[in-house]
Amino acid sequence: MSILVAGLTACSEKNPLLENYQTWRDTPPFAEVKTCHLVPAYEEAIRRHDQEIQAIVAQTEAPDFANTIEALELSGKLISRIDAVFGTLTNNEMDDELMAAEEKITLMLSEHFNAITLNEGLFDRVRQVYEKRHDLGLNAEQLRLTEETYEDFLERGSTLQGADREKYRSLSTRLDNLTMTFGQNSLKATHAFSRVFTDKEELSGLPDDEMAIAAEKARKQGKEGWLFDLTAPSYGAIMKYADRRDVREQFYMAYNQRAVGGEFDNLQVIKDIVNTRMEIGQLMGYPDYASYALRRKMAGKVENVYQMLDQLRAAYRPVAVKEHQAIQEFINQTEPKPFKLEPWDWSYYSNKLKTKLFDLNDEMLKPYFELEHVKKGVFGLATRLYGITFVKNPDIQVWNKDVDAYEVFDENGDFMAVIYTDFFPRESKRSGAWMNDIKAQSNVNGQREYPFVTLSMNFTLPTADKPSLLTFDEVTTFLHEFGHGLHGMLSNVTYASLAGTNVDRDFVEMPSQIMENWAYEKEFLDSVAIHYQTGEPIPMELIGKVRDAGNFNVGRDCCRQLSFGYLDMAYHTIHEPLQGDVAAFEREAWKSVDLLPMPVSCCMSPTFTHLFSGGYAAGYYCYKWSEILAFDAYDHYTEHAVFDRERAASFRENILSKGNTKPAAELYEAYRGQPATIDAMLRHNGIK
């Protein structure tokens, strides 16, 4: 019998997650699934997976690749199928009932997968295959899967004995629950603040489009006026455009005090998370969690991460200092009563200075970036580079009316993937932008499974009289997430666990970051930037300004990313439990690159979901690590032409199609012909 948590109601009808899908190309039946289906579905899936694991362990035949490694790889398919729905809903359609289900499911899955990796009989079989792997006649991918499977078991405590095994089980279950709690608190805290303005003068400086969106948000809540909150792009509009400094300060403080005390406090949760991670790392024989987590990444060890962070700090901090001085001088020159630059002033005055220096701002560009046309342009970029095409299919079930689903076809017209796009913010959706590989590609014994990927953003909403018009940053965000999508869709491997984006965390951002570079190319802008009213292409003059302004505040932007990297490493290189003030710890960790400190009452960590609920623990540095790779790779990619099909084919063959079938450094060098250097990034950013 299904055991449901309080607040969840049982479904009387059949559970669609446990039935054969009657859907287009076996896509998830999002429209049929209710929250009450999830817990019972997982209970049944776990029961079946347990039986599959028991069958592997109980075999009398000697362990080999097929009966152990491959059998383990192919087990648990029902769990994966349910995960595709559950993960999509918790990211995009969260509500109280789903949160209650998440609490139950998180505990179930943590206990279940701990039982697998701590199963001594199963690990013994995996170990035996691993030890004789070079004598089994395995192909390269089979060898890679064997090694990665063995390393997975080592990473998850399989070699621990006695009380240490039980301690690992307890710690990992605790960590799963803590990270879930952190994510829920962050979402709730973000939506806990909003303000309805009834005096239009208080919103002086806000563009008409932003006002129209805010008026519609107020109307939906039955209120008169203009509603602004802490979600994107609402918060960003206040910070960039509001003339009233007190309004900017109010929103800044609300944003940076989310989950700091109060009902959704994450301060103690942070300490519990980093201390639990420290215990896990030390239990596994490492001095700290970062040393444990980096063992299987490109960086390899803590010293290499700090070497990169310090190298970038030395190159970019002097530039950032000059940029801050320029903003302060601009304030001194333009304000009747000059004042000291504060964090809530940065976006507003840097936007004004950018307009002055380059005669360029988002309001000039937005009419050329109508979402539907940008979508066609981004999809068209993939067609020009890789020959793939996209066809919208309304018969594919989606989780929200704003979501579109597309079938993807290769050059020969053969089906190869499904991609879902979910562009707009809503209260049930987490902030930011992300790609999810909800079903990985595989091809075992000729049974090809096609990838399904999702792209979720929080872009500018349409208004009553205008379509969604994107900022330039939103265009580059689209390209970034689409790069992740290509990594998933163009995968061509045998085993799902090695497919697509299942690569080192410090390599996974490279295929996404390389895509951002096309946003500055005339050949791309000509195809994507079309005025939504006149149909005229973006003028050459504006393209020139986009390129000229491309490195505006590049030092500050880099230092901001470095600050997050230093903070991440500080949290995850502790050797003793963190017990003090989280905000003070944060300020100390990033002080070498923080040129505009927050007020002492503010703290960014309590909503730093990348670290505490998003899988980037001891890994946030990867954005800059991957960016170095991406600039170096882009120079090679476009050495002869912006749309070089030969180099595109090489990138697809050596990077996008290979997943994790080889170490990331080998994949990169197979494409590039040499290791990456920082030189290309410094040149692109105007540093060198």
Question: Which residues are identified as catalytic?
Answer: 481
The vertex-473 CA angle with 384 and 556, nearest 5°, equals 125
Query: 3-state SS of 564-599?
Result: HHHHHHHHHCCCCCCCCCHHHHHHHHCCCCCCCCCC
Burial of 658 (0-12, 13-18, 19+ CB in 10 A): buried
Span between the terminal Cα atoms of the chain, in Å? 66
Q: β-strands 389-392, 404-409: how paired? A: antiparallel
Both tokens of residue 630?
Answer: 């991406």
Give whole-number Cα distances, 195 to 218, 275, 618, in Å: 9, 37, 36
Which residues have C-beta within 8 Å of that of residue 131, sequence separation ≥ 6? Answer: none
Which residues have C-beta within 8 Å of that of residue 508, sequence separation ≥ 6? Answer: 484, 487, 501, 622, 626
Q: Where would I find the H helices in 95-241?
A: 96-117, 120-131, 140-155, 163-190, 208-220, 234-241
Which residues have C-beta within 8 Å of that of residue 120, sequence separation ≥ 6? Answer: 158
CB 255 within 8 A of CB 235: yes
Q: How far apart are CA 267 and CA 256, in angstroms?
A: 13
CB 351 within 8 A of CB 361: yes
User: What Rg, from alpha-carbon coordinates, does the chain have?
Assistant: 25
Q: β-strands 452-456, 415-422: how paired? A: parallel
